[in-house]
């Protein structure tokens, strides 16, 4: 009961979490389930520290509370100290990421029957690990609507690094095999790559 009281003082309640979900209309719920693989969680763990943004944390809190897992919700708040969250800043970064995705959709590269979407990581550097899967899924929605039979990969050009972060599902480009999220040396990539 103390945990529920603590969460209520922070302005977070199970009732509010349920309302957030139930207020979504049927088509929105169906769209989210179809496109974002809600059952899977993608996290990068470095030295036992979870790399997570405020937006991600808000959604995880909501998920825990909706499923009556108040202990986990409390532990998240205790671990990450909600007073230091800057949700507006994180949402702003998210909009910048979406803008960058839109630009990459306008300039695709075709190679060996694969569509390649390239993005720069200047705005993503601090949250790259959190958003790589998000970027891939958003572009996936576009692909399913516009080019349903096409294979595609997303390349994120990391500033001041000698590698690209790539993500794709069972895609072969020349001698490179991409399945999941991988780092590929820039020289290796360019030696196998000549756009059509």
**How do residues 66-105 score in pLDDT, each as one tens digit?**
666 666 666 666 555 444 444 455 556 667 777 888 888 8
Where does the pLDDT of residue 38 fall: very low under 50, low under 70, confident under 90, or very high at 90 and above?
very low
DSSP 8-state symbol, 150? -
DSSP 8-state symbol, 109? E
Q: According to the model, what pLDDT value does residue 37 have?
A: 46
Residue ranges in 23-68 assigned as alpha helix (H): 26-36, 54-66
pTM: 0.52
Mean pLDDT within 147-163 = 83
The percent helix, strand, coil of the chain (3-state, each to 5) is: 55, 20, 25
Q: According to the model, what pLDDT value does residue 196 have?
A: 47
Where does the pLDDT of residue 47 fall: very low under 50, low under 70, confident under 90, or very high at 90 and above?
very low
CA 51 to chain centre: 12
Give tens-digit pLDDT for 107-135: 888 888 888 888 887 655 555 665 677 77
| DSSP E strands, 1-133 | 45-46, 49-50, 109-111, 114-120
Q: According to the model, what pLDDT value does residue 188 have?
A: 83
Fold for 88-191, please state it: Diaminopimelate Epimerase; Chain A, domain 1 (3.10.310)
- The boundaries of every CATH 3.10.310 domain in the chain are 88-191
């Amino acid at each position: 009961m103390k945990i529920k009281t603590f969460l209520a003082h922070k302005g977070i309640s199970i009732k509010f979490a349920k309302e957030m979900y139930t207020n979504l209309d049927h088509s929105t719920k169906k769209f989210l389930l179809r496109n974002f693989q809600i059952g899977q969680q993608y996290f990068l763990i470095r030295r036992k520290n979870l790399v997570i943004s405020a937006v991600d944390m808000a959604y995880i809190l909501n998920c825990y509370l909706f499923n009556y897992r108040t202990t986990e919700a409390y532990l998240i708040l205790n671990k990450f100290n909600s007073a230091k969250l800057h949700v507006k800043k994180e949402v702003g970064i998210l909009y910048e990421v979406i803008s960058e995705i839109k630009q990459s959709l306008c300039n695709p590269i075709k190679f060996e029957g694969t569509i390649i979407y390239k993005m720069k990581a200047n705005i993503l550097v601090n949250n790259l690990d959190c958003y790589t899967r998000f970027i891939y899924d958003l572009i996936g929605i576009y692909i399913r609507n516009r080019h349903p039979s096409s294979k595609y990969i997303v390349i994120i050009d990391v500033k001041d690094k000698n590698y690209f972060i790539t993500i794709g599902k069972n895609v072969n480009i020349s001698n490179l095999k991409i399945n999941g999220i991988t780092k590929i040396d820039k020289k290796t990539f360019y030696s196998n790559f000549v756009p059509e």
